[in-house]
Amino acid sequence: MHIRQIISGIAVLLVTASCAPTPQVEKKSEPAETLKTEVPKPRVGEPVSPISAATVSNVDLVELGKKLFFDPRLSKSGFISCNSCHNLSMGGSDNLKSSIGHKWNKGPINSPTVLNSSMNLAQFWDGRAKDLKEQAGGPIANPGEMAFTHELAVGVLQSIPGYVDEFKKVFGSVPITIDQITQAIAAFEETLVTPDSRFDKWLLGDDNAITKDELEGYELFKSSGCTACHNGPALGGNSYQKMGVVEPYKASSKVEGRSAVTGKDADRFNFKVPTLRNVALTYPYFHDGEAATLAKAIDVMGQIQLGKKFTPEENAKMVAFMKTLTGKQPVFEIPVLPPSSDDTPSPEPFGK
Ligand code: HEC
Ligand code: HEC
């Protein structure tokens, strides 16, 4: 017994003695190694900066805006919602050359993505709306889009008890106003930010986030001069530029761009530079939707903006780079809309 106790005592001592120092050594060496190899340093001096997820301050307002974004009852037909032309399952666009509005109306222009649109200096290709709130009122009353009026849209929502309750909860006041509607939609749109693209990971210092070809595509994008216009966090959205700097662009659409807003001849064919984030999802390209593929859009840009002709290999590398700009798409449950009441005006899908 006595000897056994001593032996087991020694054994315990040995165990503790042999165990104790080991974790200490590990604790000391591990963080040092992690620092060296695993904490990436954000790259400095790049013309493009990474984006981070939107922070939601008013959850109820955003939820209401999400419902309105998906609600076709804001249109005369009762069939067209914001999501019809800015489909959040398809990069926030409709993937059509030009959008289809009320009574199958052929729109004059390609629908830009709503993803990351909060980063734009203004809204629309010609910047005629100063922000998302001002923009959101446009399509509802546009005869070629949702073909409604603000008064009728308000009337419809006011006839839906579920909405009345929700507006009351969010704004604390009734009746519903168009101002509240556009404010809620804008708040939802502000959440449609797409962080964590592979390119962002690379910008944040992860060397392995993009391949050699993709990196070469980015280098070419920079050295060719594309970043003169496609720069900043959205790779665009922050300036108006001429479409056709070196050579004129023969558009299939009649719109003339920024001059429609400023009235200045010098602004003819100036358009807001589109964001290139998620550009692999937002085909076809340009305000007239004439470039069906990224390869085509890059060729046209090289030629008419910079006077450059890219080899097929160079073009392919830039396409590869652009595909790294697809970020984490907004993820949420499809909103369940409150049902109409007996007083809700009937939709007029075939009304003029
Ligand atoms: C019938 C299709 C259609 C519907 C419906 C529609 N849009 Fe659009 N949207 C477009 C088109 C086309 C443009 C570009 C118009 C222009 O620039 O002249 C656009 C532009 C925008 C822009 C500007 C993006 C940018 O980069 O400039 C935003 C934001 C937007 N729409 C949000 C909405 C919201 C919110 C709704 C619902 C209230 C809506 N849209 C309904 C087709 C549509
Ligand atoms: C002088 C400014 C300028 C330069 C330089 C420039 N772009 Fe653009 N880019 C624009 C403008 C403006 C548009 C929109 C034109 C339009 O649709 O009318 C555009 C559109 C695009 C689009 C289509 C995006 C969409 O959603 O429709 C792609 C892709 C693109 N540019 C890539 C490039 C590449 C690649 C380069 C370099 C080879 C380049 N751009 C150089 C101004 C520029």
Q: Which ligand is nearest to the CA of 275?
A: 2
Q: What is the pLDDT of residue 34?
A: 52
In this prediction, residue 173 carries a pLDDT of 85
In a shared domain, residues 178 and 222: no
Pocket test for ligand 1, best of 76, 86, 152 (most atoms within 8 A of CB): 86
> Does residue 168 fall inside a structural domain?
yes
Q: List phi, psi (to 5°) of 10.
A: -60, -40
Of 139, 159, 160, the C-alpha closest to 82 is: 139
User: Does 184 lie in the same domain as 211?
Assistant: no
Q: Retrieve residue 72's tokens.
A: 């076709």
Pair 208, 163 in one domain: no
In a domain, 314, yes or no: yes
What's the pTM value of the predicted model, to 2 decimals?
A: 0.90
Instruction: Tally the domains of the chain.
Output: 2
Residue 219 sits in a domain of what CATH number? 1.10.760.10
Tell me whether residue 211 is in a domain.
Answer: yes
Yes or no: say if 103 and 127 are a contact pair by the CB < 8 Å rule: no
82 is an annotated ligand-binding site residue: yes
Q: Which domain holds residue 297?
A: 198-323
Q: Of the residues 147, 167, 189, which one is the last residue of a structural domain?
A: 189
Q: Which of 155, 189, 223 is where one domain is finished? A: 189
Q: How far is the CA of 15 from the centre of ligand 1 (A)?
A: 71
Q: What is the pLDDT of residue 37?
A: 62
pLDDT at 10: 44
Q: List the catalytic residue out of 26, 46, 63, 145.
A: 145
Query: Which of 69, 80, 85 has the most ligand 1 atoms within 8 A of CB, as the residue to mutate?
Result: 85
pLDDT at 16: 39
Does 145 qualify as catalytic in the annotation?
yes
Contact between residue 146 and residue 140 where contact means Cβ atoms under 8 Å apart: yes
pLDDT, position 36: 56
Residues 106 and 220 in one domain: no
252 and 160 in one domain?
Answer: no
In a domain, 39, yes or no: no
Do both 211 and 132 map to the same domain? no
| Residue 224 identity (one-letter amino acid) | S
Tell whether 312 and 207 lie within a shared domain.
yes
Ordered per-residue pLDDT tens for the chain, 352 residues: 454 554 444 444 333 334 434 444 444 444 555 555 667 899 999 999 999 999 999 999 999 999 999 999 999 999 999 999 999 999 999 999 999 999 999 999 999 999 999 999 999 999 999 999 999 999 999 999 998 999 999 999 999 999 999 999 999 988 999 999 999 999 999 999 999 999 999 999 999 999 999 999 999 999 999 999 999 999 999 999 999 999 999 999 889 999 999 999 999 999 999 999 999 999 999 999 999 999 999 999 999 999 999 999 999 999 999 999 999 999 999 999 999 999 999 999 997 7
Give yes or no: residues 172 and 226 share one domain.
no
In a domain, 4, yes or no: no
Signed CA dihedral, 22, 25, 27, 32: sign only: negative
Q: Is position 150 annotated in a ligand binding site?
A: no
> 301: CA distance to ligand 2 center in Å?
6
Cβ neighbours of residue 321 closer than 8 Å, sequence gap 6 or more: 199, 210, 214, 215, 216, 217, 218, 220, 221
Q: Check residue 11 and give its pLDDT.
A: 42
Domain-embedded: residue 346: no
Q: Which of 137, 177, 140 is nearest to 157 (CA)?
A: 177
Q: Answer yes or no: is the C-beta of 224 below 6 A from any ligand 2 atom.
A: yes
Closest protein CA for atom 10 of ligand 2: 273
Same domain, 202 and 148: no
Does a cis peptide bond (omega within 30 degrees of 0) precede residue 175? yes
Within-domain flag for 350: no
Q: 40: CA distance to ligand 2 center in Å?
A: 31
For the CA of 225, the nearest ligand: 2
